[in-house]
Amino acid sequence: MKSLALPLLAMLTSVACSEAAPLGGDSDTSGETGVVDTTEPVGRVQLNEVSASGDFVNDDAGDPGEDWIELAVFDGPVDLGGYSLTDGSADPWPLPPIQVEPGTYRMVWCDDDSSQGAWHASFKLSATGEHLVLASADGPVDETTMPAAQDGLTWSRDAAGGAWAYADPTPAAAN
């Protein structure tokens, strides 16, 4: 009997001292066991500035004075494939499927003229105001209700990315 006890005791000690994953196949990602999270930060895209009376700033090469929406990307790269814009009166317009780096401000021309290129939406903006929605495949990501346009100003987010108000235009740049 003593001859079986020693090998059994050695085997139990070996099993008890080894590191194993918790039951259910989960693994510890807290860093305590050396697991390192190598995923890049997930970026976010948001509406940043809107011009529904574009005749005063940032002329489009194809047709001066067109309306535009500026998108801003933060926190990490964003693949715009699967995102769309709408003013509620038209079918959602799909954004071009490209990756945009953080710190980028991307102009979308709202001229209902896709023959001018990939960044020309299938709708125009109303100078009397309207509701704009940026959506992903999962639903709305960001939205704003733009009041009637004011001469020489754009409907813009503050520099912190929060509140909306009329401000001097800053196309393709921080507000």
CA–CA separation, 151 and 128 (whole Å): 12
pLDDT at 60 (0 to 100): 54
Three-state DSSP class for 55?
Answer: helix
* Domain ranges (residues) in the chain: 44-167
Residue at 93: amino acid letter: W
DSSP 2: H
CATH number of 44-167: 2.60.40
Three-state DSSP class for 49?
Answer: strand
- pLDDT > 80? residue 25: no
CA–CA separation, 49 and 28 (whole Å): 43
With contact defined as beta carbons under 8 Å apart, do 48 and 105 qualify?
Answer: yes
- pLDDT > 80? residue 39: no
DSSP 56: G
pLDDT at 175 (0 to 100): 86
- pLDDT > 80? residue 133: yes
CA 140 to chain centre: 11
pTM (predicted TM-score)? 0.73
CA–CA separation, 56 and 152 (whole Å): 6
Cα separations in angstroms, 77 against 19, 28, 74, 99, 100: 37, 27, 8, 7, 6
pLDDT digit string (tens) for 66-99? 899 999 999 999 999 999 999 988 689 999 999 9
pLDDT digit string (tens) for 148-173? 999 889 999 987 778 999 999 998 88
Residues 6+ positions from 65 with CB-CB distance below 8 Å: 54, 55, 59
